[in-house]
């Protein structure tokens, strides 16, 4: 599959509280749309030439949602949490033959793509559970949010961009930001909505790593969009950014 520059007739629609507004190519300056035909959408093994291996560290609502999408698309997924593989037997049973459980280190070693799907306050301990991140493609769908008695609250990042904070914890990793603009319960739903597909905005400094994550997203039925480097694209859809989450829908039509 190839990345394509924005073309005439391709546009993005942002849906908020039943109000639609078109985000033009000018607003998404420099973005590249990853196009798939309807035949290719949702097809991993045949259309993409083979399933990927995905390690998912974190099995909360976000990690489970991604594990379900990726196993259904035909990818091999190894899930891990801080409590040990034995606690994941029910989830593995639900996910089926494409799933297995392991330690965070085993999940990281297993994956062509490693997903860091933990809560913001767990990021340091999760990162420390893997001996080295050097050369690994790491998908980061983490927002600086924490659950409190009053609901979700933004964590203090001391003036740093959330993407920058996460990337600094992963020396040597090929970090790709993405899958963070939807609440977990929305992300878990069918990505095909009203004839369009939910967008997955991606940012990263390594083009090959972004392409790999885009293939993964596309195989699960999403529309991937490259917003540029971590510094360029990350602030666009970090929590609090103009396209940041959590939101109901960001669709490609």
pLDDT of residue 40: 44
Q: 167-171, 200-204, 211-215, 244-248: which has the minimum mean pLDDT?
A: 244-248
pLDDT in tens, 17-76: 332 333 333 334 444 544 443 334 444 343 444 689 999 999 999 999 999 999 999 999
**In the numeric block, which tokens belong to residue 107?**
């999940």
- 72 exposure class (CB count in 10 Å sphere: 0-12, 13-18, 19+): middle
Neighbours of 87 (CB within 10 A): 12
β-strand pairing of 32-34 with 3-4: antiparallel
Q: Is pLDDT of 82 > 90?
A: yes
Sign of dihedral through CA atoms 132, 71, 179, 205?
positive
Q: 4-13, 51-60, 111-120: which has the minimum mean pLDDT?
A: 4-13
Q: Is pLDDT of 13 > 70?
A: no
pLDDT in tens, 226-246: 999 999 998 888 877 777 765
pLDDT in tens, 147-199: 767 766 676 767 788 888 899 999 999 999 999 998 889 999 999 988 889 98
pLDDT of residue 143: 87
Q: How confident is the model at residue 251 (pLDDT cuts 50, 70, 90)?
A: low
Q: 15-19, 73-77, 103-107, 211-215: which has the minimum mean pLDDT?
A: 15-19
């Amino acid at each position: 599959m190839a990345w394509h520059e924005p073309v005439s007739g391709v546009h993005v629609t942002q849906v908020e509280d039943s109000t639609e507004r078109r985000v033009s190519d000018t607003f998404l300056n420099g973005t590249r749309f990853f196009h798939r035909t309807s035949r290719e959408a949702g097809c991993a093994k045949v259309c993409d030439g083979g399933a990927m291996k995905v390690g998912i560290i974190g099995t909360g609502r976000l990690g489970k949602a991604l594990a379900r999408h990726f196993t259904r698309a035909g990818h091999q997924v190894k899930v891990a949490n801080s409590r040990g593989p034995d606690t994941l037997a029910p989830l593995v049973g639900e996910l089926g033959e494409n799933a297995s459980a392991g330690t965070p280190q085993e999940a990281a070693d297993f994956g062509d793509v490693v997903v860091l799907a933990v809560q913001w306050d767990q990021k340091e301990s999760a990162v420390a559970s893997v001996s080295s991140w050097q050369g690994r493609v790491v998908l980061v769908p983490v927002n600086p949010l924490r659950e409190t008695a009053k609901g979700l609250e933004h964590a203090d990042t001391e003036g740093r961009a959330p993407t920058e904070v996460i990337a600094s914890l992963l020396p040597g990793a090929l970090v790709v930001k993405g899958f963070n603009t939807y609440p977990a319960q929305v992300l878990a739903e069918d990505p095909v909505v009203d004839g369009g597909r939910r967008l997955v905005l991606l940012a990263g400094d390594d083009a090959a790593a972004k392409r790999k994550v885009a293939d993964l997203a596309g195989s699960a039925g999403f529309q991937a969009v490259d917003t540029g480097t971590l510094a360029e694209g990350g602030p666009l859809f970090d929590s609090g950014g103009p396209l940041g989450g959590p939101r109901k829908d960001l669709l490609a039509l």
